[in-house]
A and B are shown apart, each in its own frame.
Chain A
Amino acid sequence: AQSVTQLGSHVSVSEGALVLLRCNYSSSVPPYLFWYVQYPNQGLQLLLKYTSAATLVKGINGFEAEFKKSETSFHLTKPSAHMRDAAEYFCAVSDRGTSGTYKYIFGTGTRLKVLA
């Protein structure tokens, strides 16, 4: 079964600094990977997804992620943090489920704090 591991449950950065949120995957087949963001008391929104078309994936709000097979990683980055980036971020992988559909397995999340 597929799984993802997020290193660091809390990350703090200064406004304007680089954001790096880590995600490693475990998969017996080529994985399909996702990053979602959750603002307080809300559902999750998709930031970006890796579909094997390109190893560097650009998403919304200036975020991007790079798929590295040799490191089994899919880390999320943003060159310059904004206060509005403060949220919880989840890495996810799709896994084959029953009845021909797919289920989505999420990591434990990383809460990003942006300091003024």
Chain B
Amino acid sequence: SQTIHQWPATLVQPVGSPLSLECTVEGTSNPNLYWYRQAAGRGLQLLFYSVGIGQISSEVPQNLSASRPQDRQFILSSKKLLLSDSGFYLCAWSVFRHPVEKLFFGSGTQLSVL
């Protein structure tokens, strides 16, 4: 069966420090991968998505970047964190390129930038 791993579960980082969050999917090939951020009162905001290795689509220009070095690995990064980067980060995947696909979510990373 397919599973998604996301780590770390919680992270406290100082302003100006770098960030690397990792997400891996098991049990499927060539998944569509997504990064979302959930901030208080702002719902779930799509940050990046990817249909394949090295293919990244950015939804919101900001302090973050994403990479997909391997088929089932999706990484969210920042060179210098801002206070506004705090939030709950969720990785998700889907199988097919179809408009009614179900998204499978990881358990999330709670990031606090202080």
Contact = CB atoms under 8 A, between A and B. Distances in A.
Give the interface size class of chain B. Answer: 20 to 34
B41 A43 contact: no
Interface stretch (B14-22, B78-86, B100-108): B100-108
B99 A43 contact: no
Interface of B: 32, 34, 36, 41-46, 49, 51-52, 55, 57, 59, 90, 92, 97-103, 105-108, 110
A43 B92 contact: yes
Q: Which 7 A-B pairs give the minimum distances between C-beta atoms?
A: A43-B105, A108-B43, A106-B44, A94-B99, A101-B97, A99-B51, A32-B99
Interface of A: 6, 9, 32, 36, 41-46, 49, 51, 90, 92, 94, 96-109
Given A36-B103, A51-B100, 12 more contacts: A43-B90, A43-B92, A44-B105, A94-B101, A98-B57, A99-B52, A101-B97, A102-B97, A102-B101, A104-B34, A104-B46, A109-B43
B24 to A, nearest CB: 14
